[in-house]
Amino acid sequence: MKKLFETLRARFAAAQDKHDAEMPLTIKNYILLAAGLVVIILGMVLMCGGGSDNPEVFNYEMFSWRRITLAPILIVGGFAFEIYALMKRF
């Protein structure tokens, strides 16, 4: 796992665009934007479900910790990371 992390870090550091001075966002910014989008999508997926097949039966599963706490934190954190990815200048 450590070797994989070091390899990803080296590739991220080596990602250079020859038009960096002309472009407002670099390839690194786009990589960070994609990572933030993945976190937002993960939060949306974690929020799905919890309904009941029978409308006469109430399902308390929709009030689970995953849907009420974890998913909104991931979504808000993903949007905050998106703002960081847009503002960061490499």
Name the packing angle between helices 71-87 and 27-47 (round to 10°): 170
**Tens-level pLDDT at each residue, the chain (90 residues):** 778 778 877 877 776 655 556 778 888 999 999 999 999 999 999 999 877 788 888 888 888 999 999 999 999 999 999 999 999 887
pLDDT at 41 (0 to 100): 98
Are the CB atoms for 42 and 76 separated by under 8 Å? no
C-alpha to C-alpha distance for 60 and 40, rounded to whole angstroms: 25
- Give the helix ranges, DSSP H, for the chain: 2-14, 27-47, 65, 71-87
Q: What's the pTM value of the predicted model, to 2 decimals? A: 0.74
pLDDT at 17 (0 to 100): 56
C-alpha to C-alpha distance for 82 and 17, rounded to whole angstroms: 20
